[in-house]
Structure 1
């Protein structure tokens, strides 16, 4: 009597040791999404608080507090984005494992159906040889599935590693609770993926070594890192919702412009850092003054601004301090600067430089903040 179960055992063992990929709603992905949602609520509260503070308080001290608060806002937004990105990686990894598990179940079922279809011929030498060959073939298929899933998990683990470092802004400017939540969430997710990857590796080790050569090799490519630097010191990418555009600043912080035109203006302005101040200058090659800088940067984005600083807010949407985004303009009666995010401006001093957001400027009347691309 041919013991079909003995031939199927390696496949059954492979299936039983393979994870299901099914996660509960309160698993790592759900927890991170929930944490990001809470941080988003804190971010909204912070925006309202900044607006309220600026209505009740002005002067240099208020400007300093606003700049610091906006840096905290950037940190909170970055942590929230990382949490959602990590949750997405976990979901992708789980989906890959679930798909692999279904494929393995199908391979086991295929072998059992093949053996059943052979009928009495299974007891003949020729039939037995066919059955053994089928068992080896199906085991090879199963190992290929495991190898593919393992490589997918390696890629997801690499993506998680890229997301693990804390935001580049100083931890001192970040609420302790938020920093702790982000660190805890990252550690938990890295541990989860490491465990899944280790499990896949353990399954391969348990299989016969000669057949493992059939597993596909891992591709050397890895997902691009959001915000990877470009030559001008900044970079950008469309956000998943298609509304904003993320920009990586020279200090490494990641901010979100309201649209591509604003992001392009920020990139162009940052590309002029170090340009000498020249009264009336309108191009990086010959020097720039304050309105020349913003006019040039927005011109590169296809947006025309008036030449005079005090007129560059005309006809554009006024923006509250707590709602500032990269590309917004701060306009005085004789000066203009561009918001780049993380509580900072880029402006034509001598030379073009990055400075903290403020509303005071050597006694000039401050007209307000404006968004040329709205």
Structure 2
């Protein structure tokens, strides 16, 4: 008589090692989202502090502090968005494992049903052949489920790897430590839900996450200023940000950082202005690449976006209400009585000097009266 338990055992072992994929309350993804919520609160406090400082004082020292604070804000908000995105990836990975476990359970029950149906013939060669054939078929189905889930988790691992660029330890040491802890949590999560069957995928995910604590990019790179939320990434792709109302458009700056403009018009204007970097200053000039002045640059850039601006710098204070320093987004204009520059994000602006260049945000310009920051597309 054939050992039926021996035929069933491989399926049972596969099922028991696979895990359920069900995440308990307070697990890795909950921890990530909780941390992101705390970072959002810190960001809001920082935004208010920037605005309060600029309300109470002005001058070069405040400008320098504001520029630095905006960069720190960008870094903290980047961590917040990255945490939420990682939590979503972990939840999806757990869902794949949970579905796989249910599918494996169905395979086991199907085999047991076959055995029950064939039980009257198990004493015959035909019955024994049928049950062995069924066992082989169901083990194949089980391995197919495992292979499918491994492929699905490989996709999640790739998603995690896309989120790995992190601020350097010199600017955010505690953030690096937090990333290392997240790596450990993620590894525990997947190894707990997948067992030895998914150990390779779990190891890959852990490795990807662990690299966030030793990333080589600086705090000003790989980040996105979303006017309150940020994203990481590279390239010049554009689209909605998970940290905004869905209307933002991403832009990659020359320094490698990714920022988010409030809309397509502002994004186009920023790209156009950046394309003119290196152009010599020519008073009254309107030609990127050959010669341009400050208001000529901003008028040209917004003209490329289909937004008409007045020609004189001091008349380009359009778009209301006036934007506070802590709420600046790419495309906003810094307007003086005689000069204008465009905010590009991450504490920087582009302006026509000699030549057109990108520098830190400021409100001081050769003693000119500063009118404020304005958003032409508001």
Normalised to the residue count of structure 1, the TM-score between the two structures is 0.86
* Residue 243 of structure 1 pairs with residue 247 of structure 2: yes
- The residue number in structure 1 matching 2:290 is 286
Extract unaligned runs of 5+ from structure 2.
202-230
Is contact 2:330-2:345 (8 Å) kept?
yes
Name the SS of the counterpart of 1:90 in structure 2.
helix
Aligned length: 347
Q: Distance in 2 between matches of 1:62 and 1:17?
A: 59
After superposition, the C-alpha distances for 1:259-292 in whole angstroms (9 at most, x for unaligned) are 2222222222222222222222223243322112
Q: 1:88 to 1:9 in 2, by over 3 A?
A: same
Is contact 1:246-1:255 (8 Å) kept?
yes
Matches within 5 A, 1:92-241: 92-167=92-167, 171-174=169-172, 176-186=173-183, 188-189=185-186, 192-193=189-190, 199-201=196-198, 227-230=233-236, 235-240=237-242, 241=245
1:111 shift after superposition: 1.0
Q: Distance in 1 between matches of 2:275 and 2:188?
A: 40
After superposition, the C-alpha distances for 1:181-238 in whole angstroms (9 at most, x for unaligned) are 345334543564577677334599xxxxxxxxxxxxxxxxxxxx963324xxxx4331
* RMSD (Å) for aligned C-alpha atoms: 2.4
User: Stretches of 4+ moved more than 6 A in 1?
Assistant: 194-198
Name the SS of the counterpart of 2:68 in structure 1.
helix
* Residue 358 of structure 1 pairs with residue 362 of structure 2: yes
Extract unaligned runs of 5+ from structure 1.
205-224
* Residue 268 of structure 1 pairs with residue 268 of structure 2: no
Q: 1:140 to 1:340 in 2, by over 3 A?
A: same
Of the structure 1 ranges 269-278 and 317-326, higher mean CA displacement relative to structure 2 is found in 269-278
Q: 1:131 to 1:197 in 2, by over 3 A?
A: closer
Normalised to the residue count of structure 2, the TM-score between the two structures is 0.85
